[in-house]
Structure 1
Amino acid sequence: MVKLGTNLPGGAAGGGNDPSGRRLTWFEAIAASPRPAVVDHAADGDRVELSGRVLANWAAKTANLLDIEGHGPGSTVLMDLPLGWKSLALLLGAARAGVEVRFASVSSSAPGGAGSVDLVVSGTPGAWSEHPADLWSVSQGTLRSSGASEVSETSEPLEALPSPDAQVPSHALDYAAEVQMQADQCHLPLPGTSLPSLVEAWEDLAATGPEYDAGAPLSRWSHRERGLVVAAAGGRLDRGTARAVVGTWDRGHPVVLVPERDTDLGGASARLVEAERLGSASR
């Protein structure tokens, strides 16, 4: 697999320039790339690929939706999400909008321990029905488009599969439906710091209390010479994973999600990593 094309501003090698010589922002650098940024092999057996351009479109739509719903700098968003390409698009959209993020790093995180947040974005919205914050429901099925497994600029309009949570509260906003109505470009002011610095300031929700399952599977990843392998099965989007992901994008490399619980990869996932040409483990 090839690199995204240019390191992002703030990365070790500095950022790229546009044709006029102007230095690209980190978001513009992602959006300018036609090369893979996320490849999800864990999405119900399909291979879903998002180029930098497509990932940035989803992030821009997400940032616009956050803005329309009244969430921007100064707002706190709690993400209660498993690992998947949509979760990573939401991650980048939150960064673009300049909101503060907390992660429910285990699926059993108790809503009562979430503290004061303005919005909860959850794959299991029924668990948050009594929380006073605004609520977004995120279907964990893949998005399908005329049978195509790749998400691209030329895909037909995408149809969201039904949410696995049968008890979606009536007041919950359907993220998959609403985000596609937003513009592909975001004109909000860009946060004045690098992408890794933004995520560094975010935090995990404290996983304590009687509902905390100490045996809950943790997300794991492996840095490769030309990308990041993330074991998605049972994994959660947490601060550690978010830092590894944005650090990989900052170096101009793709993130590959595999249907595995840890990065001692089995035969099938090892072959996927080899097919994506990520190289050997770098550390």
Structure 2
Amino acid sequence: MSIPAIDLMSALRSGQSTSPRLTWYGPAGERVELSGRVLDNWVAKTSNLLQDELDAEPGTRLRLDLPAHWKSLVLALAAWQLGMEVVLDAAEAELLATAEPGPAAAEGAFDAVMAVALPALAMRWLGELPSGVVDYAAEVRSHGDFFMPHVEPEADRRAVRSAAGTVHAHGGLLAGFAAPSAAPAAGASSAEGGERVLVRAAEGLESVLAQSLGAWQRDGSVVLVHPDVAVTERLLSDERVSRS
């Protein structure tokens, strides 16, 4: 059985690879748009960072102590592409990605900690980092644009542990974890290349991951909106949202 996340990334980088696949609306007027090709590039670089710098391999657990954000989606996709387990609750994990690295690094409960700067244009972590903490924004850009796993992932390994402790294997990630199709938004038309789905970050990272996977497996795209950003009729129209 193949790994759905690998097949998904192959689909996103092929076909309409220049079409938007992930658009982020953040605070302070942030708007980040990633085409299929650019999203795949970010995911490949992140997978290479995890594998080559942090010694991650299939079965390694990555806890995402992050809000719903476009970088959180990239990290999850990169981990799944590598065959890792994404941990969304407080269960044990070897690696941690967090926007608050101070307390996490001090605990010493992880083999490695990544500090993830959330501002859209952040090229590095602003301020001091505890010794040994990896600056995700500064390090990820130096890694390769194409990912080749050192060890082939297996479909029966764990892919995600939910906030409630529910576990889904890689082989069932899209069938069991991804959200099913939602109803079309009133008065909206389908975006070229598939549905254009509004996803609200306020619903939490687990829900955002499930909704995004559901949209992408249907050849759609995601408009992810920060809780502080008002979802107006103009935003829905400008982004050609077809489902919300």
Structure-1-length-normalised TM-score? 0.66
Q: Superposition pairs for residues 89-238 of structure 1, below 5 Å?
A: 89-104=74-89, 114-129=90-105, 130-133=107-110, 134-143=112-121, 160=123, 162-163=125-126, 168-188=129-149, 191=153, 193=155, 201-205=159-163, 223=182, 225=184, 226-232=195-201, 234=202, 236-238=204-206
What code does the residue aligned with 2:115 have?
S
User: Which of 225, 228, 237 matches 1:258?
Assistant: 225
Give 1:278 deviation, angstroms.
1.6
Counterpart for residue 241 of structure 1 = 208
Contact 1:126–1:167, Cα closer than 8 Å, also in 2? no
What code does the residue aligned with 2:118 have?
Q
Contact 1:139–1:161, Cα closer than 8 Å, also in 2? yes
Partners of 2:101 and 2:30 in 1: CA distance = 25
Contact 1:40–1:257, Cα closer than 8 Å, also in 2? yes
Partners of 1:198 and 1:36 in 2: CA distance = 31
SS in 2 for 1:25: helix
The share of aligned pairs that are identical, in percent, is 33
List alignment gaps of at least 5 residues for structure 2. 166-180, 185-194
Counterpart for residue 53 of structure 1 = 37
Counterpart for residue 4 of structure 1 = none
1:26 to 1:162, Cα distance in 2 relative to 1, 3 A: closer
User: Which of 41, 45, 48 matches 2:25?
Assistant: 41
User: Which of 225, 229, 239 matches 1:276?
Assistant: 239
SS in 2 for 1:89: helix
List alignment gaps of at least 5 residues for structure 1. 1-8, 11-23, 105-113, 144-158, 208-221
> Deviations along 1:39-81, whole A, 9 cap, x unmatched?
0112531221000110011100111111111111021110011
Counterpart for residue 172 of structure 2 = none
Superposed CA RMSD: 2.9
What code does the residue aligned with 1:173 have?
V
Partners of 2:152 and 2:221 in 1: CA distance = 23
Partners of 2:113 and 2:27 in 1: CA distance = 24
Size of the alignment, in residue pairs? 211
Partners of 1:198 and 1:224 in 2: CA distance = 32
1:270 to 1:67, Cα distance in 2 relative to 1, 3 A: same
What code does the residue aligned with 2:108 have?
H
Give 1:121 deviation, angstroms.
0.5
Give 1:167 deviation, angstroms.
6.3
Contact 1:82–1:235, Cα closer than 8 Å, also in 2? no
SS in 1 for 2:205: coil
SS in 1 for 2:80: helix
Partners of 1:103 and 1:249 in 2: CA distance = 21
Contact 2:22–2:222, Cα closer than 8 Å, also in 1? yes
Structure-2-length-normalised TM-score? 0.75
